[in-house]
Amino acid sequence: MGNFVITFCTQLLNFVFKGDNIHTLCEFNLLNQPFSERVVKLMKQENKIETSFLILTILTNVVRKSEKYYAAIRDFFTNFFNSILTYDSVLVNSRLCMFLGCYLDELFSKNKQFVDRSINYLFIILFKFNQFHGLSYQVSI
């Protein structure tokens, strides 16, 4: 079950950041199934992203057991890192902070640029305390 959920979430994130275009569904085998139709067509983009980050954060221990999962997540971040860090949503930023808290050391330890940019992003969020109290609190945990 973990394999399905992790693969589904990484495919959903890739789909959204590739443009959330229904015509690209054929690239994503799990998203191109009848059971996925509601998620793909009816969920808002923000909810697709934040839910995927939340699920991947919850399943950290399962992901840690497989290099295949790490590779899929690393590939996603390699392709869409700038878009992820600049996505304009407090909810997505909150989920991303949780995600980075769980994965930053392990996923990006060999890529100093990702680590530095991620830490810079977390500091920027932290110092928006007056604007987003909850989000700044999320970073500080």
The model's pTM is 0.85
- Where helices occur in the chain by DSSP H, the ranges are 2-17, 37-42, 45-58, 60-63, 67-85, 90-108, 112-126, 133-140
The winner for highest mean pLDDT among 18-22, 46-50, 109-113 is: 46-50
Quick one: residue 20, left, alpha or beta (phi over 0 = left, psi -120 to 50 = alpha)?
left
Average pLDDT score over residue span 124-141:
60
23-82 pLDDT, tens digit per residue, is 777 788 788 777 777 778 888 999 999 999 999 999 998 988 888 998 899 889 889 988
Worst-scoring range by mean pLDDT, 7-21, 35-49, 67-81, 116-130? 116-130
Per-domain residue ranges of the chain: 2-140
